[in-house]
Amino acid sequence: MRQLPLVLLCLFAFAATAEAHARLESASPPVGGTVQAPPKQVAITFSEEVEPVFSTIEVTDAAGKRVDSGKPDRAPDKPQVLVVGLQPLGPGIYRVVWHAVSVDTHRTQGSYSFTVAR
Amino acid sequence: MPKRHRAAIVATLATLVSLPAAAHGIAGARFFPVTLTLDDPAVADEASLPTVVYQPNKPGSETDYGFEWDKRLTENFGFAFNDQYRMVRQPAQAGGNLLGWDDPILTFKYQFFENDAHEILASVGVQKEFGGIGAVSHGLADSVGWTQPTLYAGKGLGDLPPGLGLLRPFAITGEFGYQRADVGTSTSPDGARTPNPNFLNIGASVYYDMSYLRSQVKDYGLPEFANHLIPIVEFAYSTPASSQYAGITTTGTVAPGVLYEAAWYQVGLEALIPATHASGSYAGFIAQFHIYLDDLLPGSPLGKPLF
C-alpha cells in the first residue's frame, strides 16, 4: 500500500505517451450554436490526433441533403483538427454527423446541430 | 463495537463487494463511465487501483483498499478479477483491530447487445467468490463462497427529441444478480447448522455527462475542467432471496457523487449513505482511481482483446 503513490506517479509519467479515444473538444460553428454569417467549413477539434483517411464529417440541411464537400482533411499543423468544406449555406438548422478514428485506431462518433441565422 | 453495528457494516460493504465496479463501454456517441458501487454493462481492458471504501461506525470504522483488473479475451467477452484488503478498527474490548484480505472474486462477462442509435449496451455474466481464501479466521472473509449470474444493461438518453436536448446527457445503468451460496448450510464445530443465505443484488445508476453536453448538445463555453465531470447517483441493494433466513434483511447504499473522466483515467468520489436501517447509521465514502488500459497501452496485450 505504501508503494501506491509511487505506482501512480509512474503511471502519470508513462501516460505522457498515452493515446486515447478521440472526443470532440470544440467545433466551428460551435455545437448547438448560432452563427450570423454562413460558414465556409466545419472544423472539429478532437482530444487526440485523428486519421482523416478513416474519419468522416457529413453535414446535412433540414431536408437531409448533404451540403459538405466530401472527405474531411486534417487542418495544417493541427493533427487534432478535421475540416470539411461546405457549399454556400442559407439560413436554417444544419446537422453534423462525424465518425473519427484516432491514431491508435479507437473509433468514436457523434452528432450535433448548428444554426445559420436569418 | 457492538456486534449488530459490525454486522451492518459487513452487510453494507458486502453489497459493494458483490457488485464490483468495472469497465466503460461505448454505444454510438455514449461513453458509459465506470460506476463505483455497481458494475457497468461493458467489457473492456481496464483496472481500478485503488478503490477505497471508508465506513465509520462509532466507536470504530472500516477502510477497505480494493483493486480490480478487467481484461477482454475477445471484443465482447472478458473477465475481471478483484479483491480488497480490509482494515477494521474497533476498541480492544470489542476484539481490537482486524486486518486481512477478503475473498477474491472472478467475473466472466459477455456483451451480447449493442444499439448505437439508442445508446444501449447489455451484457450477461457470472461472478464467483472463492470462499475460504481470505482472512476467514478474522471474520473478514467468508468460508463459503458464492456464484452469481448477473444481467447488466445501460441506456443513454441521447435519442430524446431535440426539444429535450438538455436531458440528452443523462444515462442510466442497471445490474441484477442472483447470488447463490456454494454450500447451502454450514456446520459449526459444536454441530450447529447455519444456512448460508442467497441474495438478490440489484444496482442502478443515473448520471449526467458534461462531456456529452458539450460535444452532442450545446457547447456553453464552460471551463475545461467542468466538461470532464459526470455528476452521478448510484443505488446498490442486497436482499435475501427468500424469507427463510431469520435476522437477515435488505441492506443497501445510496451513493451520490461525481466522476472526473480524462483521456486514460477516471477518478470517482461518492458518499455512501445507508439506505436501510440494517445498513448502518453513518455515511461513509468510496473513492476510486480507474485506468483505461486500452487508452494507456493500446498496442499491448493489456490494452486490446487477446483473440
B-chain residue closest to A114, CA distance: B218
Does the beta carbon of B264 lie under 8 angstroms from any beta carbon of chain A? yes
Which fold, B3-294?
Porin (2.40.160)
Whether residue A109 is contained in a domain is answered as yes
- Cβ B162–A15 below 8 Å, yes or no? no
Could you tell me if B294 lies within 8 Å of chain A, comparing CB atoms? yes
Q: How close is the nearest chain B Cα to the Cα of A81, in Å?
A: 14
- What DSSP string runs through A51-115? -GGG-EEEEE-TT--B-B-SS-EEETTEEEEEEEEB----SEEEEEEEEEEBTT--EEEEEEEEE
Q: Report the pLDDT value the prediction gives residue A108, as an integer from 0 to 100.
A: 94
Give the per-residue pLDDT at B19. 35
Highest mean pLDDT among A9-13, B109-113, B298-302: B109-113
Q: Using a CB–CB cutoff of 8 Å, tell me whether A108 touches chain B.
A: yes
For chain B, domain boundaries: 3-294
B65/chain A closest Cα distance in angstroms: 8
Size of interface A-B (CB pairs under 8 A): 75
Position A3 in a domain: no
Q: How confident is the model at residue B144 (pLDDT cuts 50, 70, 90)?
A: very high
Q: Chain A within 8 Å of B259 (Cβ-Cβ)?
A: no
Q: Do A105 and B219 touch (CB under 8 A)?
A: no
Nearest CA in chain A to B264: A20
Whether B50 sits inside 8 A of A19 (CB atoms) is: no
Cβ–Cβ gap B295/A11 under 8 Å: no
> In the predicted model, is pLDDT for residue B8 greater than 50?
no
> Which pLDDT band, with edges at 50, 70 and 90, does A8 fall under?
low
Whether the predicted pLDDT of B3 surpasses 50: no
Burial class (CB in 10 A: 0-12, 13-18, 19+), B161: exposed
Position B16 confidence tier, pLDDT thresholds 50, 70, 90: very low
> A62 burial class (0-12, 13-18, 19+ CB within 10 angstroms)?
exposed
Residue B28 has its nearest CB partner, among A1, A11, A109, at: A109
Higher-pLDDT residue of B154 and B9 is B154
Burial of B62: CB neighbours in 10 Å, binned 0-12, 13-18, 19+: buried
Contacts of A19 in chain B (CB under 8 A): 295, 298
Per-residue pLDDT, B189: 77
Cβ <8 Å between A104 and B299: yes
DSSP designation for A31? T
In order of A103, A113, B210, the CA distances from B162 in angstroms are 32, 10, 17
In the prediction, which pLDDT does A4 show?
61
Q: Does A7 touch chain B (CB under 8 A)?
A: yes
**How far apart, in whole angstroms, are the C-alpha atoms of residue B33 and residue B211?**
11
Residue A14 lies in a domain: no
Is the separation of the CB atoms in B45 and B263 below 8 Å?
Answer: no
In a domain? residue A4:
no
Confidence of residue B209 (pLDDT cuts 50, 70, 90): very high
- pLDDT at residue A11, as a whole number: 59
Of the candidates A19, A30, A109, which has its C-beta nearest B295's C-beta? Answer: A19
| pLDDT tens string B64-103 | 999 999 999 999 999 999 999 999 999 988 888 999 999 9
Out of B49, B265, B295, whose CB is closest to A21?
Answer: B295
What is the distance, to the nearest Å, from the Cα of residue B161 to the centroid of all Cα atoms in its chain? 32
Question: A44-101: per-residue pLDDT in tens?
Answer: 999 999 999 999 999 999 999 999 999 999 998 999 999 999 999 999 999 999 999 9
Tens-digit pLDDT profile for residues A17-54:
556 789 999 999 999 999 999 999 999 999 999 999 99
What residues make up the domain containing A89? 19-116
Evaluate whether B141 touches B135 at the Cβ level (below 8 Å): yes
B58-62, B129-133, B151-155, B189-193: least confident range: B189-193
The answer to the question of residue A7 being in a domain is: no
At residue B22, the pLDDT reads: 28
Q: What is the pLDDT of residues B18-28, one digit of tens each?
A: 333 223 499 99
Q: If DSSP codes are grouped into helix, strand and coil, which group holds residue A11?
A: helix
State the Cα torsion B68-B296-B264-B14 to the nearest 10°.
0
Work out whether the CA dihedral B239, B240, B246, B248 comes out positive or negative. Answer: negative
Sign, CA dihedral B157-B160-B163-B164, equals negative
Q: What CATH number does residue A75 fall under? A: 2.60.40.1220
- Cβ of A111 and B49 within 8 Å? no
Helix (H) or strand (E) holding A42: strand A41-46
| Residue A58 counted as domain residue | yes
Mind telling me how many Å the CA of B187 is from chain A's nearest CA? Answer: 36
Query: What's the whole-model pTM score?
Result: 0.89
pLDDT beyond 90 at B108: yes
Question: What's chain B look like in SS3?
Answer: CCHHHHHHHHHHHHHHHCCCCCCCEEECCEEECCCCCCCCCCCCCEEEEEEEEEEEECCEEEEEEEEEEEEECCCCEEEEEEEEEEEEECCHHHCCCEEEECCCEEEEEEEEEEECCCCEEEEEEEEEECCCCCCHHHCCCCCCCEEEEEEEEEEECCCCCHHHHHHCCEEEEEEEEEEEECCCEEECCCCCEEECCCEEEEEEEEEECHHHHHHHHCCCCCCCCHHHEEEEEEEEEEEECCCCCCCCCCEEEEEEEEEEECCCEEEEEEEEEECCHHHCCCCEEEEEEEEEHHHHCCCCHHHCCCC
B14 shares contact with chain A (CB less than 8 Å): no
Q: What's the domain count of chain A?
A: 1
Model pLDDT, residue B93: 86
> Which of these, B39, B199, B191, B54, lies nearest to B121 by C-alpha position?
B39
